[in-house]
Amino acid sequence: MAKYRKLSRTSDQRKALLRGQVTALIANGKIITTEAKAKEVRKIAEGLVALAVKERDNFEEVTVTAKVPRKDKDGKRVKEVVDGKKVTVYDEVEKKIKKDLPSRLHARRQMLKVLYPVKEVPDKVAGRKKNTKEIDLVAKLFDEIAPKYANRNGGYTRIVKIGQRKGDGALEVLLELV
């Protein structure tokens, strides 16, 4: 028996397809696809969620001091003249950050090998490049998805059969996070 389905694609096309569908599943919570693709995506997605559940509390809170540029009421940086040059004025601010321990860092990098970067575009200003923002799917896995499945042993996804596709009659399914 084969270890995976080839999905009638070359290896690079197949990997790209599966990465794209896993990314869409994590970002949106559900996708509609064919049954064969869903079963392959399920394997990868369940592995990522299991990794996130295992490493979700494996960090330490660290307080750091950061230099932040001082800004005026319009949001522009405040500048001072020092020795004939305009120099930005900085304030020191205490910040708390999460510092990953080595095993969580390794898990984060394993997830980043699979997940594509995702940009979110607000509806009212669609098409404007400066209003898009990058979504950190790894942080979403650790902070939102992993706590939801903390006391669950596997079975993080569900496949629901929808029916046959009109064009080629392939069986379509809804793959969703439980």
pLDDT in tens, 102-135: 999 999 999 999 999 998 887 776 666 777 889 9
Res 115: pLDDT? 97
Tokens 């494996």: give the residue: 58
Res 125: pLDDT? 67
CA–CA gap between residue 111 and residue 148 (Å, rounded): 18
- The segment(s) of the chain belonging to CATH 3.90.1030.10 are 15-58+101-177
Give the chain's mean pLDDT: 93
CATH 3.90.1030.10 fits 15-58+101-177, yes or no: yes
In the structure, what pLDDT confidence band is assigned to residue 30 with cuts at 50, 70 and 90?
Answer: very high
Q: CB of 32 within 8 A of CB of 41?
A: no
CA–CA gap between residue 156 and residue 49 (Å, rounded): 7
| pLDDT reading at 4 higher than 70 | yes
Res 127: pLDDT? 65
Mean pLDDT of 9-30: 97
Res 169: pLDDT? 93
